[in-house]
Amino acid sequence: MLRVLAATDFSSDGRAVVDFAADLVRRSGGKMYLLHAVEPCMIDAAGCISHEKGAMAGEVEEGEGTHHHATLLEISNNRARCAAEKISRRWDIPVYGKAEEADDIVECIFRFCERHSIQLLVIGNRHHSLLSSILLGSTAARLVRAARIPVTVVPCAFQQG
């Protein structure tokens, strides 16, 4: 059974990655994993998110750091699980969704792959400016260079046929 990881940031560009991976899993009879890596700087920038109804819609409030840290990860994890359920129903495949804190997105993805015996990683490739690619590098490029398993890079403009 093929184990495929689709790494996502839940952006509209990420839809192509999810659809590509889901179609591959449906055809192969495998299992799909969905991972959202949440960077600590995103958690810090978000401020405190309360457990109130508005927090699930993304409203931000002031508060203590440790409270918002766990809560934002919990919200992200719930979002990943809900997305996995929707993908599972839509494509009629088993899907496991998870969000994890990532000091380094590349290392987070590789650790997840090792823990879950992932055989294929599916990622998206956004088109950044030349300057940002030179200064910051590309997460997709870093993943491909450091990969220990096959990686499929889906262009953000790719549409499933």
> In the prediction, which pLDDT does 56 show?
34
Contact 21, 122 (CB under 8 A): yes
Q: What is the CATH number of domain 3-38+77-155?
A: 3.40.50.620
Per-residue pLDDT of the chain (161 residues; tens, 9 = 90+): 999 999 988 887 788 899 999 999 999 999 999 999 988 765 554 544 433 333 333 333 444 445 555 678 888 999 999 999 999 999 999 999 999 999 999 999 999 999 999 999 999 876 555 554 444 457 888 888 899 999 998 887 666 65
What Cα–Cα distance (Å) separates residue 13 from each residue in 9, 24, 90, 109, 157? 9, 18, 18, 18, 7
With 0-12 CB in 10 A as exposed, 13-18 as middle and 19+ as buried, what is 7?
buried
Q: Hunting for tokens 């499929």 — which residue is that?
A: 152
Residue spans of the domains in the chain: they are 3-38+77-155
Tell me the three-class secondary structure of 10-72, residue by residue: CCCCHHHHHHHHHHHHHHHCCEEEEEEEECHHHHHHHCECCCCHHHHCCCCECCCHHHHHHHH
> In the prediction, which pLDDT does 63 show?
46
> In the prediction, which pLDDT does 80 show?
96
Does the pTM surpass 0.85? The reply is no
> In the prediction, which pLDDT does 115 show?
97
Give the C-alpha separation, 145 to 104, whole Å.
15
> In the prediction, which pLDDT does 73 show?
85
Q: Which residues touch 76 (CB under 8 Å, ≥6 apart)?
A: 36, 38, 99
Give the C-alpha separation, 65 to 101, whole Å.
15
Closest-CA residue to 79 (of 97, 62, 66): 97
Closest-CA residue to 62 (of 79, 75, 47, 84): 47
For residue 144 the two structure tokens come to 């491909």
> In the prediction, which pLDDT does 44 show?
52
